[in-house]
Structure 1
Amino acid sequence: MDWLWTWGGKCFGYRDGDDLLTHDGRHVGRFNGDKIFDPRGRYLGELMNENRLIRRKGVTSLRGYNFTPRAKRAAYAKYANYVGYAMYAGYEDFPAPESL
């Protein structure tokens, strides 16, 4: 289990194998390499710098496989937020866990 933060520094949740889970235990994404897709196969974002989540702007045609989310797991206490990184051109911050 590897904890992950948004590019802006907010604690998001964790990676368990190829699954992306929020800190409150919801299965919201699946990894395909460094790219992350939601249960309907839509692009959510990508993993950069080993533990930061970021989203490329305007990527609507990139699709992954659909999947059925796992049942909600036990919640974990969030880790502290970090200082955000400077945003790359053409990217935006990964959605907050509450918005997924």
Structure 2
Amino acid sequence: MNWLWTWGGTSFGYREGDNLWTYDRRHVGRFAGNDVYGPDGAYLGELTGTHRLITCQAKLGSRQVGFTPSGRRVIYASYADYSGYALDEGYEDFPAPWTLR
């Protein structure tokens, strides 16, 4: 289990295998390489380095085959937020965990 933060520093949740989970136990994404797609197959963003999530604006609109989210899991305490990084042109912060369903 690898804990993850958004590029802006918000504690997001964790990666387990190819699945992305929020800290409040929701299965909101699936990895295809470093890219993350939501249950509807829409591109959400990507993993950069080992612990940060970011969204490439040029990839918005990309799609993969969707999936049915797994059931909820035990709630974990959120890790502390970190300082955010400056965004390069063409990128935006990964969605916050509470904005994804």
Q: By the TM > 0.5 criterion, same fold? A: yes
Q: Please report the TM-score for the alignment, with normalisation by the length of structure 2.
A: 0.95
The one-letter code sitting in structure 2 at the alignment partner of 1:43 is Y
Query: 2:83 maps to what in 1?
Result: 83
Amino acid at match of 2:49: N
Aligned length: 100
Identity %: 56
1:15 aligns with 2:15: yes
- Structure 1, unmatched stretches of 5+, are none
How many Å separate the matches in 1 of 2:26 and 2:6? 16
Q: Could you say what the CA RMSD is over the residues aligned between the two structures, in angstroms? A: 0.9
Where in structure 1 do 4 or more consecutive aligned residues deviate above 3 Å?
Answer: none
TM-score scaled by structure 1? 0.96
Counterpart of 1:65 in 2: which secondary structure? coil
- 5+ residue gaps, structure 2, are none
1:64 equivalent in structure 2: 64
Are the aligned partners of 2:44 and 2:60 in contact in 1 as well (CA < 8 Å)? Answer: no
Task: State the Cα distance separating 1:58 from its structure 2 match.
Answer: 4.4
